[in-house]
Chains A and B, each alone.
Chain A
């Protein structure tokens, strides 16, 4: 079988109104159509179309050899994907929920992330791992983890986390085109929250680039994924008290967009970082260090962090108390502004 990436079909691209999960589906469909090397692997992704319907309809079109229902084995999915990736394919592996990735953690930590280094570039692992993450949908226990920092800590794998349908498709295609492994965390709470225009066909959102979603002058708010709606709501509330917020959606968690963060904080002199992952060892700490390195003399207040607490993600009866809320973010904004 000749395997190559075909040029984009030269037809007019039409915008479609899609949710995040539909945009992810459209991204995989686009990749399968335009790159013979793409294979999807995962539990229940074929006939069932995925437990969130992210792969709905793809096996029917592209066949069971390319959209593969695997055995129930996360280490198998990721480990076999390494073998496929070094040998000419581009696997996009779905882990059903991020909280179930741990059996595959060894594969990610010891092989996915360092095969390039261990072979001085002779073997590389151009693969994508997709996983829905986060709490707030009253899911059964363990289904709600948000452990991006376990992966941003490990050199050799990039981590992206879109918060909008447009970015979801664009980052997925960029991840598939990337010469290195990319973990894409998909905010399950936002999967069907809203629709927006998403171009059909192939386009990318650059990995490593954040996006300013609201221009402001008094304080920088930094978040990603499922925390974006929380931060945007907090920004609206803060505006009512006359506080102007510069809101940044990081989109890529490794490597971080240092320039965008520095430029914003140097303008506002204040920052609040919001993530639903635990406080200790959370990515917020890396962002604080980065601001310290780039913008220390511009700061007018200590940097605030609003995060999940240092407790395991609780059963859903208590999850609203675990997750950062607009009220907690507003409190942090006020603390920084009135420092």
Chain B
């Protein structure tokens, strides 16, 4: 199956072009945009880990190593498309336009962090595994019914392919020709379980065959191939050709979450041969004359300032409102719930 689904790349580890199919579409602005977003979300990710270690953030799921997959895919979207991320895809969310302070808030146990910005359709991160695939199928089906050209992208990991919802979502999208890109980030571990114990199939891309949709396997650490292949799948979807499954092969550099210790289950030397996606893009830029030290420096400073500001905003955010516990369960609060709310607020006042 590996031979049926070879890993597609634009660039090799040294940042040299190995497949010129998309060469005419590569330009300085695109490359700089991709690099900018990768650098931005990596800085965010490292800041979040550091905040967690200082007790300023709750348990956090880092994505370092997966920046090319998340940025390339999110950059390919149009503003009216739908994004269905998991708890590890806040890099993609930030690239697509999610609020940064809100993203920090989410990891601080604040529901406010789930609210998408005006004008963007971003679902709250799927915490249960694979449950977002049928949602993506449904939202895309709705776009098709409404006659728009908008599409959905569903993010999920290698472990998600073992859940029933993966298969049900793929099947629905395919049966109803819903414009969905099923974007798999195969980082080779579902918490501690390596892919060879997760499935007996050699690739994830081949699972597309069962649902009669195209399956593509790409180098998820090559931001350009991710961008172009997701763009291509989205274009097919918008034309009414239905869904595509993309397997982006990548690597989670760090732990599953800040509560996890990967040294318990990953051999120390595993992943050492993987070239960091940002370094690959840097090499590509240098090879092609797009690397501009002054721009890189200025970008880094701008991003650091943006992140510091977002941390400040998160930490100066109003304290959680107890009434929020009750107010968003129904459009109209049932009388018994209103009584529970009233009685608890009275209790709180009595204890002050």
Residues of B within 8 A of A328 (CB): 347
Asked if A140 and B162 sit within 8 Å, CB to CB, the answer is no
Is the beta-carbon distance between A72 and B128 smaller than 8 angstroms? no
B197 contact set on A, CB distance < 8 A: 69, 71
Give per-residue flags for A171-198: 1 if the beta carbon is below 8 A from chain B beta carbons, else 0: 0000000000000000000000000000
Q: Are B340 and A71 touching (Cβ within 8 A)?
A: no
- Interchain CB contact under 8 A, B264 and A310: no
B351 touches A309 (CB 8 A): no
Give the complex CA separation of A76 and B190 in angstroms. Answer: 16
Which B residues are CB-close (under 8 A) to A142?
127-128
Residue contact B190 to A43, C-beta cutoff 8 Å:
yes
Contact A312 B329, beta carbon cutoff 8 Å: yes
Q: What 0/1 readout, one digit per residue, does chain B (25-68) give for beta carbons within 8 Å of chain A?
A: 00000000000000000000000000000000011010000000
A47 touches B264 (CB 8 A): yes
**Stretch of A22-30, A109-117, A152-160, A314-322 lying at the B interface:** A314-322
Determine how close the nearest CB of chain A comes to the CB of B169; give it in whole angstroms.
13
CA distance A75 to B340 in the complex (A): 35
Q: Is A211 an interface residue (CB 8 A)?
A: no
The smallest C-beta distance from A274 to any residue of chain B, in angstroms, reads 15
Asked if B199 contacts A71 (CB within 8 A), the reply is yes
A237 within 8 A of partner (CB): no
Q: Does B305 contact A (CB under 8 A)?
A: no
Taking a contact as CB atoms under 8 Å apart, the answer to whether B109 and A316 are in contact is: yes
A204 interface residue, CB < 8 Å from B?
Answer: no
Q: For B111, list chain A residues within 8 Å (CB).
A: 314-315, 317-318
Q: Could you tell me if A279 and B340 are in contact, using CB atoms closer than 8 angstroms?
A: yes
Name, among A73, A102, A139, A316, the residue most crowded by chain B CB atoms within 10 Å (CB to CB): A73
Alpha-carbon distance A142/B86, docked complex (angstroms): 13
Cα A228 to Cα B257 in complex, Å, equals 30
Known: A314-B325, A315-B111. A48 touches B192 (CB 8 A): yes
Minimum CB–CB distance for B102 against chain A, Å = 13
Q: How far is the CB of A275 from chain B (nearest CB, A)?
A: 14
A331 and B193 contacting across the interface, CB-CB below 8 Å: no
Is B329 in contact with A311, judged by CB distance below 8 angstroms?
A: yes
**A-B contact number at CB 8 A:** 110
| Interface pair B192/A327, CB less than 8 Å apart | no
The answer to whether A317 touches B110 (Cβ under 8 A) is: yes
- B165 contacts chain A at the CB level, 8 A cutoff: yes
Bound-complex Cα distance A43 to B324 (A): 34
**Bound Cα distance from A309 to B87, whole angstroms:** 26
Annotate A63-93 by CB proximity to B: 1 below 8 A, 0 otherwise.
Answer: 0000001011111100000000000000000
Question: CA separation between A51 and B190, bound complex, in Å?
Answer: 12
Task: Report the bound CA distance from A76 to B265 in whole Å.
Answer: 23
A21 to chain B, nearest CB (A): 14
Q: Assess whether A103 is interfacial by the CB under 8 Å rule.
A: yes
With a cutoff of 8 Å between Cβ atoms, the chain A residues found around residue B257 in the complex are: 140
A44 interfacial by beta-carbon distance below 8 Å: yes
Q: How far is the CB of A273 from chain B (nearest CB, A)?
A: 16
B344 close to A309 (CB less than 8 A):
yes
Contact in complex: B337, A309 (CB < 8 Å): yes
Asked if A138 is at the interface (CB within 8 A of a chain B CB), the reply is: yes
Chain A 320-335 interface mask (CB, 8 Å, partner B; 1/0): 0110000110010000
B174 at the interface (CB under 8 A from A): no
A298 contact set on B, CB distance < 8 A:
none
Q: List the A residue with the shortest CB-CB distance to B322.
A: A321
Indicate if B134 sits at the interface (CB-CB under 8 A). Answer: no
- Given A47-B264, A138-B59, A309-B337, are A73 and B163 neighbors across the interface (CB < 8 Å)? yes
| A183 to B192 Cα, complex, angstroms | 25
Q: Evaluate contact between A73 and B191: CB separation under 8 angstroms.
A: no
A296 interface hit (Cβ, 8 Å): no
B residues 161-195 in Cβ contact with A at 8 Å: 162-165, 190-193
Residue of B nearest to A69 (CB): B193
Q: Which of B313-329 contact A (CB under 8 A)?
A: 320, 322, 324-326, 329
B270 at the A interface (CB under 8 A):
no
In the complex, whether A280 has a CB less than 8 A from a CB of chain B is yes
- Within 8 Å of chain A (Cβ to Cβ): is B91? no
Query: In chain A, what residue has the closest Cβ to B110?
Result: A317
Contacts of B336 in A (CB 8 A): 280, 310
Q: Does A100 contact B (CB under 8 A)?
A: yes
B208 CB-CB contact with A under 8 Å: no
Are A310 and B162 in contact (CB-based, < 8 A)?
no
Whether A317 pairs with B265 at a CB distance below 8 angstroms is: no
Q: How far is the CB of B196 from chain A (nearest CB, A)?
A: 11
Tell me if B108 is interfacial: C-beta within 8 Å of chain A. yes
- Is the pair B108, A311 in contact by a Cβ cutoff of 8 Å? no
The answer to the question of B76 belonging to the interface, with a C-beta cut-off of 8 Å to chain A, is: no
Which chain B residues lie closer than 8 Å to A49 at the CB level? 264
Chain A, Cβ-Cβ closest to B351: A327
CB-CB contacts below 8 Å: A243-281 with B: 279-280
Contact pick for A309, options B160, B190, B340, CB 8 Å: B340
- The closest CB in chain B to the CB of A279 belongs to B340
A141 CA / B107 CA spacing, docked (Å)? 10
Closest CB in chain B relative to A195 CB, distance in Å: 22
Closest CB of chain A to B317's CB: distance in Å? 10
Of B162, B193, B325, B334, the contact of A322 (CB 8 Å cutoff): B325
Q: Cα distance A51–B234 when bound, in Å? A: 37
Complex Cα–Cα for A99 and B58 (A): 19
Can you list 7 A-B contacts (CB < 8 A)?
A44-B192, A140-B61, A280-B336, A309-B326, A311-B329, A314-B324, A316-B109
Beyond the given A72-B129, A311-B337, A321-B325, could you list 19 further A-B residue pairs with CB under 8 A, ordered by the A residue number?
A43-B191, A48-B191, A51-B191, A72-B163, A73-B163, A75-B164, A103-B165, A140-B127, A140-B257, A312-B329, A314-B324, A314-B325, A315-B109, A315-B111, A316-B58, A317-B110, A318-B109, A318-B324, A321-B322
Q: Which residues of B contact A (CB under 8 A)?
A: 58-59, 61, 87, 108-111, 127-129, 159-160, 162-165, 190-193, 197-199, 257, 259-260, 264-265, 320, 322, 324-326, 329, 334, 336-337, 340-341, 344, 347, 351
A interface residue numbers (CB < 8 A to B): 43-44, 46-49, 51, 69, 71-76, 99-100, 102-103, 138-143, 279-280, 309-312, 314-319, 321-322, 327-328, 331
The 5 closest A-B pairs by CB, nearest first: A316-B109, A48-B192, A72-B159, A71-B162, A317-B109
